[in-house]
Structure 1
Amino acid sequence: MDVGKILRTTAARLPDKKAVIFGNRSFTFRDLDQGADRIANFLFQRGVKKGDRVAILFPNIPEFVVTYLGIIRLGAIGVPLDFRFKGDELNSVLRDAEVKVLFTLKDKWEEVKSDLKGLEDVLTTIVILGEDRSGTFDFKKILSQESSPMGDEIIIAEEDEALYLYTSGTTGKPKGVVLTFRNLDYYPLTMNQMVHSGENDRIGFIIPLSHISGPVISNMMVLNGSTIVLFEHLRPDRILEDVDRYGVTYFFGVPPIFQAILRVPHRERYQLKTLIYVSMMGANVPLSLIQEFRSAFPTVKVIQGYGLTETSPYITLLPLEYADSKMGSIGLPVPEIEIKLLDDSGKEVPPGEVGEIVVRGPMVMKGYHNNPEATQAMIRNGWLYTGDLGRVDSEGFFYHLGRKDDLIITGGLNVFPDEVETILLRHPDVMEAGVVGIPDKERGQAIKAVVVMKPGKVFDR
């Protein structure tokens, strides 16, 4: 879908409705539509055309969303960057993506500008949100300038590249995941089927907008006419206050956020009357966390699923009617996705046995930018090899067991760290647990566990 054109339609239908809320500031759909036009026009005047790369180095603020929509409206490719990027990592990513324009904050620019030497042949324009700086453009001035409608004449095809998302560099420098407009269509459409989201929803979003979920939630907001609520404060009690204050209906977070919320003293004073769903994002959410959260907030439905940046993101979701009977499962394949579990020889394993999760479908990435070797290693014969282990039960529900590389082989037995962590987390005094394999002369590997105790609790051998 052409998000830029859909934004025009939504803004005409709901011009004064708040689209993004951030503390005492907000952008209406009219603001987003006009702002996207002004950013797209500015980029066009700076020589940016369809298919050129534009980077966003903002934290979670409304300006991130309007910048993303302006880039998409022009048909350029958005490159959302982790706000923590700096130094060689930032330089490498901007060089790899051949970014022409960078949007960032004044303070961040002061921090990183010395890191960007040598990019003058590629990076031609810097836009700063904050005070004017020599050689840069003022974001606020761009948004304040009148502009004619932009982008209506630009044809967006499903297979056109929309985003480059740079994944963690744990195995080397970050890799740029190339996602098309077709890839990005599936999340809002799938979630709309599951939670029946609409214009009355307020989506609380605390994950970095530079994550895959940022753009797809922005697309969902534009499609549905719903509202995104960004959080000024990351203290768990302030999060609960803001959920109440802004009437959040759907909250996105990662396990540490939910663990912190569960530790808030006197949390019963927060009404949370509007909250219907929470989405716990991240690898293998502990079953104990799901159980504890549901016990603390029994009226809130927990959405469980599994996905990767490379799959835009979800490939499985657990239908809400199975939340009790299949708790701990990552769910069923989303529409149009195929999933297989393969053993080390490439043969499909039967239900109940463990294999690598491989997937195929319209949400799978185009590849890694400028990295054919990594692309070929990840995508083989049309199937994406996730590197994750899983099993499927007799009813077709999938379970995530951890990374293939993390498997511990001790005394000839396969031990899955996530399963051991789940057992440790059942202890009422344990807040967090991590399990790894360490070298052992007799067994090949031994199991080592590290635990974080809950406040006031002490580990006693």
Structure 2
Amino acid sequence: MNIFDYLFDSTKDLEKDFLLGSKETMSFKKLYNDSLKIASYLKKTIGENKNILLISPNSVFFLTAYLGVIKSGNICIPLNFVIEQSNLDYILNTTESTTVFIAKGLKRKLNFGNNIRLIDEDESLGIIDNQQLVEFNSDFNKNRVAEIIFTSGSTGEPKGVMLSHQNIIANTTSITDYLKLSSNDIMAVVIPFYYCYGLSLLHTHLKVGGSIVLNNSFMFLGTVINDLKNYKCTGFAGVPSHFQILLKKSQSFKTTEFPHLKYVTQAGGKLHTVFIKEFIDAFPTKKFYVMYGQTEATARLSYLPPNLVKTKTSSIGKAIPDVELKVINDKGKEAEINEEGELLARGENIMLGYYKDKIETRNTVKNGWLYTGDIAKIDEEGFIYLVARKKEIIKVGGKRVSPKEIEAVILSIEDVVDCTITGFDDDLLGEAIQATIVLRSKMDEDKIKEKILQECSKNLSLYKIPQKVIFKTSIEMSSTGKKLK
């Protein structure tokens, strides 16, 4: 089954609004029909099994393009709309994409060359107005690739996570099950859809006949608070920095009544216990779901039931329905109680592999088990606790950042001999970035710091720019010759 047909199985004729908000609204029926028009156009003009990029903030345009691409039998590649040109060039070259759905406001900021077909909001509307529907094969292989989500790789180059139609169906079913979602649910969405967490909100609420409210202006906290109240949202989903900013930066959040809000979900990194406690103390009647997942697992792997948040506060809970989790030690054996080891996952939500990277795929998925790269332990009651990250990826406000990408930019400066990028705890972002620099010779550190930050600003997105720059006189190494972090 195509994921499109699964999602609209019982909702395609609903006149009810799926999308709510002050800027755009859209019913299930119109979203279904408009997406079919886009799918028909793509199937007729470019065929199937092509890689199609989608670069846009959350919007009606994103929804219709995303669903249309997937229904057409092509592969959707949603990208961060503040992507650096170098990463875009790499992805265009790697995927050999020749068609890009792109928001009008982004067209002048990025270069695509002459052989790329760009489809913006205006052209999309023209397709919807004029395209006749075509026939789609009902005998659809659910194990075909539906989308590729690019994440920061350990080498600095983005890695394309290939997710099948069945991966998305399986994870969506599991999430709607444990959250007990229904057509009465209304989710406030501040997480972008190019991120697997954001897409899971889209998939689950579309499936159950619920609604979503899009807010692309989280830093204007008043708009988030107003949306929760005005649209009678029953749910809110955030990464650690969202909760930390609401709790620490908003004057009124903790004292505002949200009579319709039933629950919140948190994933995308560890939210420190102090913030969880602060939230549940302020909102004792709201359910707080701590969740854990990876893009390689479509979205979700585990959750902690709200009734255990006070007693198992630092745990990521247990596996979601239809997923198995275990911890293996350094000897490759299943770990004992409270013994640390790598967390492994198995289920129909585990990715097909990394795009054009068989070696990394073999290193990450072995005998059907996803090696998460996270160090964990399991207590005597079966609850899982993350101890550390095996991989070096830093999560800034829920966004994955490769240290090597930043190091490469700073090391391009002539006076810099060495650069080490690490993460440090930050009350708002969860983690922030620190650059430790070794200079060629003694020089004015303030001037070189300014030069480093200027170079980062030119080549990196804002969230990848170091918040701390410190200087050392020599490279620190371990006894094996490895650079210490």
So what's the TM-score if we normalise by structure 2?
0.79
> Could you tell me how far 1:299 is from its partner in structure 2?
1.8
Contact 1:249-1:276 within 8 A present in 2 as well: yes
Q: Which amino acid aligns with 2:233?
A: V
CA distance in structure 1 between the aligned counterparts of 2:169 and 2:9, rounded to whole angstroms = 17
Which of 216, 236, 241 is matched with 1:256 structurally? Answer: 241
How far off its partner does 1:40 sit? 0.8
How far apart, in 2, do the equivalents of 1:251 and 1:431 lie? 18
Larger mean Cα displacement after TM superposition, 98-107 or 245-254: 98-107
Structure 1 unaligned spans of 5+: 131-137, 408-416, 449-461
Which among 97, 106, 121 is matched to residue 129 of structure 1? 121
CA contact (8 A) 2:3 2:169 kept: no
2:89 paired residue number: 91
- Alignment match, 2:334: 348
Which stretch shifts more, 317-326 or 306-315?
Answer: 317-326
Picking from 312, 315, 331, the partner of 1:329 is 315
Residue 47 of structure 1 aligns with an amino acid whose one-letter code is I
Q: What is residue 178 of structure 2 aligned with on the other side?
A: 194
Q: Which residue of 2 aligns with 1:5?
A: 5
Counterparts of 1:266 and 1:331 in 2: how far apart (Å)? 31
Whether the aligned pair in 2 keeps the contact of 1:175 and 1:368 (CA below 8 Å) is yes
1:378 alignment partner in structure 2: 364
Mapping for residues 408-419 of structure 1, pairs under 5 Å: none
- TM-superposed CA distance for 1:202, in Å, is 0.6
After TM superposition, list the pairs within 5 Å mapping 1:111-150 onto structure 2: 111-113=109-111, 116-117=112-113, 120=115, 123=116, 125-130=117-122, 138-145=123-130, 147-148=132-133, 150=134
Partner of 2:381: 395
User: Is the contact between residue 48 and residue 100 of structure 1 (CA under 8 Å) also seen in structure 2?
Assistant: no
**Partners of 1:57 and 1:406 in 2: how far apart?**
27
8 A contact 2:11–2:28 mirrored in 1: yes
Q: Mapping of 1:436-451 within 5 angstroms?
A: none
Residue 211 (structure 2) pairs with residue 219 (structure 1): no
* In structure 2, distance between residues paired with 1:393 and 1:318: 14
1:250 CA displacement? 1.2
Residue identity in the other structure for 2:91: V
Greater shift in the superposed pair: 439-448 or 65-74: 439-448
For residues 160 and 204 of structure 1, what CA distance do their matches in structure 2 show? 31
| Secondary structure at the counterpart of residue 54 of structure 1 | strand
The answer as to whether partners of 1:237 and 1:261 remain within 8 angstroms in 2 is no
| Matched letter for residue 258 of structure 1 | F
Partner of 1:44: 43
Write out aligned runs for 1:423-434 (5 A): none
Displacement after TM superposition at 1:221 (Å) = 2.3
Q: Let me know the Cα RMSD of the aligned residues.
A: 3.0
Q: Residue deviations 1:260-303, cap 9 Å, x none?
A: 11131133553211111111111222111111111122221111
CA shift digits 1:125-171 (9 cap, x unpaired): 210125xxxxxxx12212223533x5543432221111100002453
Paired letter, 2:4: G
Partner of residue 232, structure 2 = 247
Partner of 1:28: 27
Consecutive unaligned residues in structure 2, runs of 5 or more? 394-421, 437-474
Q: Give 1:338 deviation, angstroms.
A: 2.3
What is the rounded CA distance, in whole Å, between the counterparts of 1:300 and 1:181 in structure 2?
Answer: 33
| Number of positions where the alignment pairs a residue of Structure 1 with one of Structure 2 | 416
The 5-angstrom pairing of residues 300-319 of structure 1 reads 300-319=286-305
Q: How does 1:228-307 map to 2 (within 5 A)?
A: 228-234=212-218, 235-263=220-248, 264-268=250-254, 270-307=256-293
Give SS of 2:10's match: helix
Please show how residues 155-174 of structure 1 align to structure 2 within 5 Å: 155-169=139-153, 171-174=155-158
Change (3 A) 1:290 1:73: same
Q: Relative to structure 1, is the Cα distance of residues 369 and 12 closer, same or farther in structure 2, using a 3 angstrom cutoff?
A: closer
Question: Could you say if the C-alpha distance between residues 198 and 151 of structure 1 is closer, same or farther in structure 2, counting changes exceeding 3 Å?
Answer: farther
